[in-house]
Amino acid sequence: LGGRDREQIRAYATGTDSQWYAELGFTAHKLPVRWQDERDYDATAQLVAQARSALGSDAQLMVDCYMSWDADVTRQMAAHLAPYNLYWFEDVATPDQLAAQAALRADIRPVLLAGGEHEFTHFGFREIAQANALDIWQPDITWCGGITAGLRIVDLAQQVGAQVIPHRGGEVWGLHLIAATECVDLAEVLPGTRAAQPDPLWLNEPPVVDGVIIVPDTPGFGVVLNEDYV
């Protein structure tokens, strides 16, 4: 949908099994982390260090904070994790804290701030743009209004110089937006773990091979519902 300006897209793995993702050929990886207390500075650093060791010095690493950090934690984490050369911190705060996130951006460089999956129309991204709150916008195509809204969001991002990397972009809904627009060449997938890989809700989804997804050229989104789930 929307045309196919690229035939393949690099994927990044979200999850905790860093070594397995490296074996699968991923060159980018996002770790889910949550803040509970001061011990999490070292605990998070240990997770990131393990991921860096598994994927190598050239891989892109990110962390998803699940809105569990505040401004002080974010600044201190940026310093604590500096040796590991992270690409972005995702959802450090709740979506309404735009001014606070805008104030953080300069303080945590070169790490970028990412977010936006919890915006449910393109109008929310106008507010993000006006606040200059985020470096990376992450609309979820199944939540923000579909491909049409996604196209509007990408257009707005280009106007203000923001990067767009859709939430769950490795699923076909987001994959089509990435393939048709100026989104960053990076699509999120959730492989699970060796012991618990996800069951296919949709059939004919393009697989990840050596860290890359081949964009389908079949009609529509190119998938059909797995009737075993109905």
Tell me the sheet residues that pair with 213: 9, 208
- Domains by residue range for the chain, with CATH: 8-229 (3.20.20.120)
Give the pLDDT of residue 66: 96
The pLDDT of residue 1 is 58
Low-confidence residues in the chain, pLDDT < 70 = 1-4
Alpha helices in 27-114 (DSSP H): 40-55, 71-80, 98-104
150 and 119 in contact (C-beta within 8 Å)?
A: no
Q: What is the pTM of this model?
A: 0.94
8 sits in which H/E element:
strand 8-14
Give the catalytic positions in this structure: 167
At 194 the pLDDT is 85
| 189 touches 11 (CB < 8 A) | yes
pLDDT for residue 78: 98
